[in-house]
């Protein structure tokens, strides 16, 4: 039976509220990169990495918080935490303070996404869940893209941008806490000892780490470099916009290829495509009409590496450990996301932006070699039934219900899949 008007209203409010969060998050990520460059912090790489560290910790721990206090109160707590940390940033302008505050923001954002997506999964009827998550992910990508466009109109050095971000989180908080909804139930999932996933799916684990590495470096450092070179904020916003939209455009075609062929070969081809595109960007003339098509390809290849790794890992593991597998991949990807800006900022300082792109190309070229050799020398694991998920950049792969008693989620493509976890 389709959901009634009340249920549609609840789901719609959640989707709209989280779109406000993603609008703020898309803007905030690029904004902080630009602002940190202006402040010229000594520990700029650490400031940029702190969000990913907090996000990883939040993704791994917030399930227990939601289980203890319920979805509505958890959402309020996480959104309030982000709003408070954001409001403090223009008052405490130092690298040490911003490391802590950005980590808090990352933790709170992870909590918001897990709360929202587990809530959606539990509330949407099985026959409607695929449609709900399709709408949710479209809203997410569009909001992230719109957040990049706001950069063109922002005063990077003023406190007004922080106030705008706080206001967006406050609007989302009001929408969710004012909604009439019953919290979903909670269940436990099977544990995953360390070393099991690494032995069963080494290519997926390596891919998750390297995808986090290059994604964290790209989103944290490229906008700051463009600003330092005197690029207008409108051009920076446009570049980041097309990278996000490129990621969106690649999701469904890559998902279909991943479900039809050996995922390791698909992963190797994506990695090779990213490496070649990164090297081409280094060699291209710095003209907008040349760079933007390359940005589309770069964003497309980059945003599909992690979903393929997640699907590959689930092919190799039993169904009762699916949430634990996703949690482990979050941890691995998060570590990569923390290291990316730290290593990338050091290379950028010594070799300019070319060093960063060579670093990203080398990282994924390693993945292409490992995945390709593995695909050519060993048999592929049997695919689960369409387990590829559309995952948004920066939001992180959190499109599952960590508390769902059914143990099943629908992908944005509308097919039954095992639940996936985890920018």
- Using alpha carbons, select from 414, 279, 293 the residue that is nearest to residue 359: 279
d(CA 138, CA 218): 22
Q: What is the CATH number of the domain that holds 264?
A: 1.20.1250.20
**DSSP state, 182?**
P
- Is 76 a member of any domain? yes
pLDDT tens, per residue, the chain with 423 residues:
344 446 677 777 778 888 888 889 889 988 998 998 888 887 788 998 999 999 888 888 887 888 888 888 888 899 999 999 999 999 999 999 999 999 999 999 988 888 887 777 777 666 666 667 667 777 888 888 888 888 888 888 888 899 999 999 898 888 887 766 555 655 555 567 778 888 888 999 999 999 999 999 999 899 988 988 888 888 999 999 999 999 888 888 888 888 888 889 999 999 999 999 999 999 988 888 889 999 999 999 998 898 888 888 888 887 667 667 777 888 888 899 899 999 998 898 888 899 999 999 999 999 999 999 988 888 766 655 545 566 655 544 443 444 443 434 333 333 333 222 333
User: Is 234 in contact with 365 (CB distance < 8 Å)?
Assistant: no
Domain that holds residue 124: 5-400+412-417
What is the model's pTM?
0.79
- Is 387 a member of any domain? yes
DSSP state string for 66-127:
HHHH-HHHHHHHHHHHHHHHHHHTTTS-SHHHHHHHHHHHHHHHHHHHHHHHHHHHHHS-HH
- Is 422 a member of any domain? no
- Is 407 a member of any domain? no
- Is 69 a member of any domain? yes
Q: How many domains does the chain have?
A: 1
Helix (H) or strand (E) holding 362: helix 322-377
- Is 405 a member of any domain? no
- Is 406 a member of any domain? no
User: Is 170 in contact with 420 (CB distance < 8 Å)?
Assistant: no
- Is 423 a member of any domain? no
């Amino acid at each position: 039976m389709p959901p009634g008007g009340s249920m549609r209203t609840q789901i719609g409010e959640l989707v709209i509220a989280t779109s406000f969060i993603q609008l703020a998050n898309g803007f905030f990520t690029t904004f902080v990169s630009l602002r940190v460059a202006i402040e010229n912090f000594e520990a700029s790489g650490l400031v940029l990495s702190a969000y990913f560290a907090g996000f990883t910790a939040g993704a791994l721990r917030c399930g227990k918080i939601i289980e203890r206090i319920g979805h509505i109160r958890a959402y309020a707590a996480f959104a309030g935490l982000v709003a408070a940390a954001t409001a403090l940033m223009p008052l405490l302008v130092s690298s040490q303070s911003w490391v802590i505050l950005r980590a808090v923001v990352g933790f709170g954002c992870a909590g918001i996404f897990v709360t929202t997506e587990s809530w959606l999964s539990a509330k949407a009827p099985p026959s409607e869940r695929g449609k709900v998550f399709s709408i949710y992910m479209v809203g997410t990508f569009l909001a992230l893209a719109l957040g990049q466009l706001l950069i063109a109109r922002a005063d990077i050095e003023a406190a007004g941008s922080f106030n705008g971000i706080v206001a967006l989180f406050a609007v989302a908080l009001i929408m969710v806490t004012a909604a009439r909804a019953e919290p979903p139930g909670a269940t436990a999932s099977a544990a995953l000892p360390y070393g099991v996933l690494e032995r069963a799916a080494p290519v997926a684990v390596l891919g998750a780490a390297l995808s986090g590495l290059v994604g964290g470096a790209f989103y944290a450092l490229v906008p700051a470099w463009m600003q330092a070179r005197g690029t207008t904020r409108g051009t920076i916003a446009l570049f980041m916009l097309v990278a996000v939209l490129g990621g969106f455009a690649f999701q469904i075609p890559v998902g279909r290829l991943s479900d039809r062929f050996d995922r390791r070969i698909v992963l190797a081809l994506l990695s090779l495509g990213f490496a070649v595109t990164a090297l081409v960007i280094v060699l291209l003339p710095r003209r907008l009409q040349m760079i933007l098509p390359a940005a589309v390809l770069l964003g497309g290849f980059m945003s599909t590496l992690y979903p393929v790794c997640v699907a590959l890992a689930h092919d190799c593991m039993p169904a009762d450990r699916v949430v634990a597998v996703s949690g482990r991949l979050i941890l691995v990807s998060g570590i990569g996301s923390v290291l990316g800006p730290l290593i990338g900022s050091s290379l950028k300082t010594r070799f300019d932006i070319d060093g960063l792109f060579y670093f990203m190309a080398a990282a994924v070229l390693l993945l292409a070699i490992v995945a390709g050799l593995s695909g050519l020398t060993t048999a592929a694991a049997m695919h689960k039934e369409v387990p590829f998920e559309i995952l948004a950049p920066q939001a992180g792969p959190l499109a599952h219900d960590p508390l769902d008693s059914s143990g099943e989620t629908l992908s944005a493509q509308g097919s039954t899949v095992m639940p996936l976890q985890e920018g």
